[in-house]
Amino acid sequence: MEAVDPAVVETAAALARHLRQGRNRRLAVLDWFAEAGMPVFPGAAVVPEPPAGAVREALVWVLEGSVSQRLLEAARGAAGAGEEGQDALYAVAGRMLAARPYHRPVHPAVMRAALLVGEDPPDEPGSGGVAHLFAALGLGPQEVGAEALAEGFAAVGMFDLTAGEWAQMLGAAKHGKAPPVPWELLGEVDSVEQVRGASDEELVRARTVLIGLRPFYAMYMLHGLFMPDTPGLAALRALIDERGMGRSSTRSSRSARRPASSPKA
């Protein structure tokens, strides 16, 4: 009897772990892709990589169903439509964000500090600012204005600057007191097109980065959950902050979550 290829067996096992009745196969592919990138313990079977084409298709499908991509498409559709187009865009954005409000991720250290003094963790809804940001992506920053754009950057936590700090920086650039802002980069923000254009190797590298960020985030999450602190752990978190990984890992933790359901239509 001819032996079965071990890779075929592991592929079937991976599908069985992630594909269950009623679940979209593309979500199963993404879970399989994530599992294949996890470290392998000695003696454990190596999980084979899923087909790169299936991974790309699944990523595009998830992204196309996301609120951010739908907002971007709505903003691009409103370009050139004047004030009526802008009003219609903000109305659409308001409905989308009301159904699924955007909240900035709270850093675990900030959460711990609030709980230690008996306060509720801060809740920073940024729906209005997010609408401004997507309007700028679709209509152009000049149509939105520096003040609204500053609010948008602050809403998503870019560089952890406040709206006032962003407004000051944008104003300085406008008056030649700071380097000019490369506004053309806003036109390149499109996750779907980035995934479609990424090579197989680039998709794997992106997965490696996301998985590699988890230990950094875990250090803060455990701290936020009142893990007993030590000078050594505090020094390690300080080093993570010094290298700029604390806030970025908190934000990227959303992207690294395993998909559990289909995108909303």
CB 167 within 8 A of CB 150: yes
**pLDDT value at 244 more than 80:** no
Which residues, 6+ apart, have CB-to-CB distance to 116 below 8 Å?
A: none
Classify residue 37 as exposed, middle or buried by CB count within 10 Å of its CB (0-12, 13-18, 19+): middle
Q: What is the mean pLDDT of the chain?
A: 78
CB 85 within 8 A of CB 78: yes
174-209 per-position pLDDT tens digit: 888 888 877 777 767 788 999 999 999 999 999 998
Q: Which of 52-61, 62-71, 122-131 has the lowest mean pLDDT?
A: 122-131
**pLDDT value at 102 more than 50:** yes
**pLDDT value at 22 more than 90:** no
Residue identified by tokens 């950057």 is 153
Q: What is the average per-residue pLDDT within 71-100?
A: 81
Q: What is the average per-residue pLDDT within 214-230?
A: 75
pLDDT of residue 52: 92
Q: Identify the band that residue 259 occupies on the pLDDT scale cut at 50, 70 and 90.
A: very low
Neighbours of 30 (CB within 10 A): 21
- Tell me the sheet residues that pair with 125: 103
Question: Rounded to whole angstroms, how far apart are CA atoms 56 and 128?
Answer: 32
Classify residue 42 as exposed, middle or buried by CB count within 10 Å of its CB (0-12, 13-18, 19+): exposed
What SS3 class is residue 103? strand
CB 62 within 8 A of CB 259: yes
**pLDDT value at 256 more than 50:** no
Residue 230 has, within 13 A of its CA and on its CB side, a CA count of: 4
Q: What is the average per-residue pLDDT within 54-79?
A: 88
- Please give the share of the chain, as a percent, with pLDDT higher than 90: 14
Tokens of 195: 């995934």
Alpha helix segments (H runs only) across 100-230: 108-116, 127-139, 141-144, 146-155, 163-174, 191-197, 200-224
Q: Select the more confidently predicted residue: 227 or 47.
A: 47
134-145 per-position pLDDT tens digit: 888 777 787 788
Q: Select the more confidently predicted residue: 220 or 211.
A: 211
pLDDT of residue 132: 83
Q: What is the average per-residue pLDDT within 167-177?
A: 86
Question: Rounded to whole angstroms, how far apart are CA atoms 245 and 145?
Answer: 31
